[in-house]
């Protein structure tokens, strides 16, 4: 690839980033989009925001960047949880290590590559990208010791920073354990594989077993019922019948009229409801069959139960020990948090799980192999010389203007690959669900590992192999020569990796900031479907897609740092931009429903170690190709040192992420007993794990007025809100005159991006007139 093609790709992506960032800074200020860009804050405050006009809303600004950088780590931990802090520390680690790598490689190694061979150089835009890789260095060059020295510095500093971050996350995890709000999961054990007998029920078996073998710490238990799709549909139907019976027993005001809405696109009208005569809803002979006794949910017990213990230490001991001589019966694990329980998989038979894991493993491997075809085709687009030899009929198409060829080789391959990769995360999440995880966080972590393996294999190795297949077909013919083969082809693939960073890195970050799918759905829901605002519809952060993406870029940075340093400036821009964007999204957009307590960090640590070792092995092959025995000899101890460092971390820090220290749990139990909180905790355990929650409990919105209006009475609202949504005191949607509403204390809420919304009295007068006109029209209809 020519440098001009790389500059074309960079220019396109820079333009897209600037456009998306500017649009985001304007769209986030619009009150209509507040639930898209401030979903977490709005859902936590349970508040409603009214529209108001201000010119500042339509001017791009950079204030959101300053606000995102202003938050401290303690504020991020309190708002988004420990997983968000671990993700943030991963970005900080990447910024630190690749800043050092860029400083050493760009100013120390890149000139050695450019002047490595005594050739006549062209103008920089016309130069080939291979000129800036280690492939342009002479064999037996006396400057290869510089590469070895830089490799030692990067590896040593990376290990030091990695250990400091690992220790920091482990300390935060222990503090997370001692948080002020007691976690019911610390007192609860999930028991599966309960043997069934005809003499007694599952509940009696659980009570007898734990009363006999854990009498000192056993408190009570709660049996899990089958909750599959069919059971959920039947439960919902029975609840609907109960509501229908209650509805027909009440008198309905027949003079009530429906409200007519018009679609803003097609102009069609729809009624909010159609009133039927009471005697036509349910025949009288059927009313007798709808008594409460017929609507009781006939739940079937399954071989699983939540067992509650008096102390945290008792629950830890019960979860770690083997209960019987048969490992497939009475299987115990610490229960996840109540909000993290994945009820659809709890009732699955325990003996069935190993079959599910094998099936999903085979499915994942088959999917990865099927993905080889598009990746090989995409890689061929970046090598037009090889593509012309294999497909001669494309010669006429490829003999087009120079700018079109630059677009095909520099931008199109990474865009097509990114489109294909959008299908990976949902499929891997489906595979992880079929495995039978007991919690949402476990399912997401499993999907994270699958996506990570998929990206490393298909984006890194398959691209390298497919690039080699166009020239030679015996890449894996001799496994001992794989490091040498990687050393030959990776410098040639640096052009594709750089364009991938630009497309999948820069452009995807700006797309993540814009929330395109959320923006479109918000428009359809509000203006087409006319749906009521839902404060609970707030997504959680997609760790299973973003963690693998950042780690893949780290792998590309490590492997190309010494071989093709030109990728490092583009990676640094990505990590700096990602640090700001992800902090903004975690604090404003995404809602934390459950937290793993930093369990993503071992995945991050292992991937960084793998990247370092792979980089060192590739450099060992490069030094062998360049016939530099001194540099190759010094690389072997570096590989051994990195593996020993990883083993030390696994021994010293990894156990803190596998279980909880008994010392800390006993201290917490004693503190709760001395302070008298233990009885209150035991009382809360009875309602902690509710398998069938009541959906009728809705969160009421507080009535909010816009900051800056001059009304003294505090009444009124924006056009249509009072009549269509109702007041906080009457959430049923009935029309209520503003003067008839009870006077309640109101609190002011301004838009999260503005300090205040100065609305003039003329604007308030227009609102009042509009409201009166709507009331008059409804009275006439």
Q: CB neighbours of 607 closer than 8 A, spacing ≥ 6?
A: 452, 551, 554, 555
Q: Is 667's pLDDT higher than 80?
A: yes
Candidate from 136-140, 642-646, 665-669, 753-757 with smallest mean pLDDT: 753-757
Q: For residue range 609-623, what is the model confidence (pLDDT) as tens digits?
A: 999 999 999 999 888
Q: Which residues of 718-730 are buried (b: 16+ CB within 10 A; e: fewer)?
A: ebebbbebbbbee
309 contacts 187 by C-beta, under 8 angstroms:
yes
Q: For residue range 533-542, what is the model confidence (pLDDT) as tens digits?
A: 665 668 889 9
State the Cα–Cα distance between residues 116 and 702, nearest whole angstrom: 69
Q: Which phi and psi (to 5°) does residue 745 adopt?
A: -65, 130
> Of 12-16, 373-377, 658-662, which has the strongest mean pLDDT?
658-662
Q: Which residues of 80-105 are buried (b: 16+ CB within 10 A; e: fewer)?
A: bbbbbbbbbbbbebbbbbbebbbebb
Alpha-carbon 144 to chain mean position: 42
Q: Is 39 exposed, middle or buried (0-12, 13-18, 19+ CB in 10 A)?
A: buried
Give one DSSP letter per residue of 299-357, joined into a string.
Answer: PPEEEEEEEEESSHHHHHHHHHS--SSSTTSSEEEEPPPGGGB-HHHHTS-GGGHHHHH
Q: How confident is the model at residue 132 (pLDDT cuts 50, 70, 90)?
A: confident
3-class state of residue 615 by DSSP = helix
Q: How confident is the model at residue 117 (pLDDT cuts 50, 70, 90)?
A: confident
CA atoms within a 13 Å half-sphere pointing along the CA-CB vector of 278: 11
Average pLDDT over residues 454-463: 86
Dihedral angle computed from the Cα positions of residues 405, 406, 411 and 413, in that order, rounded to the nearest 10 degrees: 40
Q: What is the pTM of this model?
A: 0.78
CA atoms within a 13 Å half-sphere pointing along the CA-CB vector of 423: 10
624 contacts 116 by C-beta, under 8 angstroms:
no
Closest C-alpha to 561, from 159, 98, 127? 98
| Cα-based distances in Å from 665 to 82, 343, 373 | 19, 27, 52
Give one DSSP letter per residue of 452-493, joined into a string.
Answer: HHHHIIIIIIHHHHHHHHTT-S-TTSSGGGHHHHHHHHTGGG
Q: Is 110 exposed, middle or buried (0-12, 13-18, 19+ CB in 10 A)?
A: middle
Q: Is the dihedral of CA 130, 132, 135, 138 positive or negative?
A: positive
H/E element, 771: helix 761-780
State the Cα–Cα distance between residues 355 and 361, nearest whole angstrom: 10
Q: CB neighbours of 694 closer than 8 A, spacing ≥ 6?
A: none
Q: How confident is the model at residue 697 (pLDDT cuts 50, 70, 90)?
A: very low
Q: How confident is the model at residue 94 (pLDDT cuts 50, 70, 90)?
A: very high
| pLDDT in the model for residue 527 | 79
| pLDDT in the model for residue 748 | 39
Q: For residue range 275-287, what is the model confidence (pLDDT) as tens digits?
A: 455 444 444 444 4
Q: How confident is the model at residue 669 (pLDDT cuts 50, 70, 90)?
A: very high
State the Cα–Cα distance between residues 475 and 139, nearest whole angstrom: 22
Alpha-carbon 474 to chain mean position: 39
> Of 24-33, 73-82, 128-137, which has the strongest mean pLDDT?
73-82
Beta bridge partners of 229: none
% of the chain surpassing 90 pLDDT: 37
CB atoms within 10 A of CB 271: 11
242 contacts 292 by C-beta, under 8 angstroms:
yes
Q: Is the dihedral of CA 156, 158, 159, 163 positive or negative?
A: positive
CB atoms within 10 A of CB 79: 17
Q: CB neighbours of 393 closer than 8 A, spacing ≥ 6?
A: none
CA atoms within a 13 Å half-sphere pointing along the CA-CB vector of 751: 24
Q: For residue range 144-180, what is the model confidence (pLDDT) as tens digits?
A: 899 999 999 999 999 999 999 999 999 999 988 887 6
Q: Is 114 exposed, middle or buried (0-12, 13-18, 19+ CB in 10 A)?
A: middle
Report which DSSP code applies to 743: P
Higher pLDDT, 160 or 771: 160
Alpha-carbon 529 to chain mean position: 28
Q: For residue range 728-751, what is the model confidence (pLDDT) as tens digits?
A: 343 343 333 433 444 444 433 344
Q: Which residues of 670-682 are buried (b: 16+ CB within 10 A; e: fewer)?
A: eebeeeeebeebb
H/E element, 188: strand 188-192
Q: For residue range 540-581, what is the model confidence (pLDDT) as tens digits?
A: 899 999 999 999 999 999 999 998 899 999 999 999 999 999
Q: For residue range 37-77, what is the model confidence (pLDDT) as tens digits?
A: 887 777 665 544 444 445 566 667 788 888 889 999 999 99
State the Cα–Cα distance between residues 604 and 586, nearest whole angstrom: 19
166 contacts 605 by C-beta, under 8 angstroms:
yes
State the Cα–Cα distance between residues 346 and 335, nearest whole angstrom: 11
Q: CB neighbours of 722 closer than 8 A, spacing ≥ 6?
A: 716, 735, 736, 738, 771
| pLDDT in the model for residue 342 | 92
620 contacts 199 by C-beta, under 8 angstroms:
no
Q: For the chain, what is the mean pLDDT? A: 77
| pLDDT in the model for residue 20 | 86
State the Cα–Cα distance between residues 437 and 341, nearest whole angstrom: 9
Alpha-carbon 307 to chain mean position: 31
586 contacts 541 by C-beta, under 8 angstroms:
yes
Q: Is 708's pLDDT higher than 80?
A: no
Beta bridge partners of 332: 191
> Of 368-377, 690-699, 762-771, which has the strongest mean pLDDT?
368-377
Closest C-alpha to 604, from 165, 23, 107? 165
| pLDDT in the model for residue 28 | 84
Q: CB neighbours of 431 closer than 8 A, spacing ≥ 6?
A: 360, 363, 364, 447, 450
Q: How confident is the model at residue 391 (pLDDT cuts 50, 70, 90)?
A: low
What's the angle, vertex CA 47, arms to CA 44 and CA 48, rounded to 5?
140
% of the chain surpassing 70 pLDDT: 68
Higher pLDDT, 186 or 259: 186
| pLDDT in the model for residue 232 | 61
What is the gyration radius of the CA atoms in the chain, in angstroms? 31
Q: Which alpha helices (H) appear in 186-311, and where do they start and end?
A: 202-213, 229-248, 278-281, 284-287
State the Cα–Cα distance between residues 261 and 259, nearest whole angstrom: 7
Q: Is 652's pLDDT higher than 70?
A: yes
CB atoms within 10 A of CB 393: 7
| pLDDT in the model for residue 709 | 38
């Amino acid at each position: 690839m020519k440098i001009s093609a790389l500059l074309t790709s960079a220019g396109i992506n820079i333009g897209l980033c600037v456009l998306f960032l500017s649009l985001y800074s304007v769209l986030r200020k619009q009150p209509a989009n507040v639930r898209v860009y401030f979903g977490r804050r709005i859902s936590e405050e349970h508040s409603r925001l009214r529209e108001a006009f201000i010119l500042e809303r339509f001017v791009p600004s950079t204030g959101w960047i300053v606000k995102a950088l202003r938050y401290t780590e303690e504020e991020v931990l309190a708002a988004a949880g420990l997983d968000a802090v671990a993700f943030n520390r991963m970005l900080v680690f990447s910024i630190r290590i690749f800043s050092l790598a860029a400083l050493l490689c760009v100013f120390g190694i890149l000139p050695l590559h450019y002047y490595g061979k005594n050739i006549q150089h062209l103008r920089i835009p016309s130069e080939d990208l291979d000129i800036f890789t280690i492939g342009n260095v002479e064999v037996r060059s006396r400057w290869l010791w510089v590469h070895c020295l830089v490799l030692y510095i990067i590896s040593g500093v990376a290990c030091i920073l990695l250990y400091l971050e690992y220790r920091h996350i482990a300390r935060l995890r222990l503090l997370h354990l001692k948080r002020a709000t007691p976690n019911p999961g610390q007192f609860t054990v999930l028991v599966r594989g309960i043997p069934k007998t005809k003499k007694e029920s599952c509940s009696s078996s659980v009570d007898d077993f734990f009363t006999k073998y854990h009498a000192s710490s056993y408190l009570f238990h709660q049996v899990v019922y089958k909750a599959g799709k069919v059971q959920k549909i039947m439960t919902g139907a029975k609840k609907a019948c109960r509501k229908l019976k209650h509805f027909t027993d009440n008198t309905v005001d027949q003079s009530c009229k429906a409200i007519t809405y018009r679609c803003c696109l097609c102009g069609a009208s729809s009624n909010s409801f159609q009133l039927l005569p009471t005697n036509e809803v349910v025949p009288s002979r059927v009313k007798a069959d709808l008594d409460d006794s017929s609507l009781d949910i006939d739940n079937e017990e399954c071989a699983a139960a939540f067992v509650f213990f008096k102390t945290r230490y008792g629950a830890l001991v019960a979860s770690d020990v083997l209960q019987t001589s048969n490992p497939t019966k009475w299987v115990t694990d610490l229960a996840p948090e109540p909000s993290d329980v994945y009820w659809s998989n709890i009732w699955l038979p325990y003996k069935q799980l190993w079959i599910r894991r094998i099936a999903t493993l085979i499915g994942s491997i088959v999917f990865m192999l099927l993905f080889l075809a598009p990746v090989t085709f995409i890689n061929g687009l970046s090598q037009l010389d090889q593509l012309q030899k294999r497909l001669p009929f494309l010669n006429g198409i490829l003999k087009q203007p120079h700018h079109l060829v630059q677009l095909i080789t520099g931008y199109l391959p990474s865009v097509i690959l990114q489109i294909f990769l959008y299908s990976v995360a949902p499929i891997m999440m489906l595979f992880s669900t079929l495995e039978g995880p007991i919690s949402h966080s476990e399912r997401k972590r499993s999907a994270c590992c699958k996506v990570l393996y998929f990206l490393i294999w298909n984006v890194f190795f398959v691209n390298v192999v497919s690039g080699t297949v166009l020239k030679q077909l015996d890449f894996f013919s001799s496994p001992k020569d794989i490091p040498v083969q990687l050393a030959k082809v990776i410098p040639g693939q640096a052009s594709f990796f750089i364009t991938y960073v630009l497309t999948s890195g820069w452009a995807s970050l700006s797309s993540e900031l814009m929330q395109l799918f959320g923006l479109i759905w918000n428009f359809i829901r509000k203006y087409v479907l006319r749906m009521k605002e839902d404060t609970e519809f707030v997504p959680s952060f997609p760790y299973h897609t973003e963690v693998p993406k950042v780690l893949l870029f780290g792998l590309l940075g490590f492997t190309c740092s010494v071989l093709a340093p030109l990728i490092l400036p583009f990676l640094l821009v990505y990590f700096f931009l990602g640090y700001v964007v992800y902090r903004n999204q975690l604090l404003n957009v995404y809602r934390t429903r459950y937290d793993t307590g930093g369990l993503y960090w071992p995945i991050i640590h292992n991937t960084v170690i793998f990247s370092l070792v792979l980089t060192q092995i590739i450099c060992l092959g490069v030094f062998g190709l360049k016939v530099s025995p001194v540099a190759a000899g010094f690389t072997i101890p570096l590989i051994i040192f990195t593996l020993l460092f990883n083993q030390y971390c696994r021994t010293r820090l990894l156990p803190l992420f596998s279980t909880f220290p008994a010392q800390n749990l006993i201290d917490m139990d004693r503190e709760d007993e001395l302070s008298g909180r233990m009885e209150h905790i035991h009382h809360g355990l009875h309602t902690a794990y509710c398998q069938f929650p009541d959906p009728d409990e809705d969160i009421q919105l507080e009535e909010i007025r816009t900051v800056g209006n001059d009304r003294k009475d505090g009444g009124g609202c924006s056009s249509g809100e009072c009549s269509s949504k109702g007041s906080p005191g009457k959430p049923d949607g009935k029309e209520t005159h503003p003067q008839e509403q009870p006077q309640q204390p109101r609190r002011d809420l301004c838009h999260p991006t503005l300090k205040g919304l100065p609305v003039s009295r003329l604007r308030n007068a227009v609102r009042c007139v509009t409201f009166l006109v709507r009331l008059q029209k409804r009275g006439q209809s």
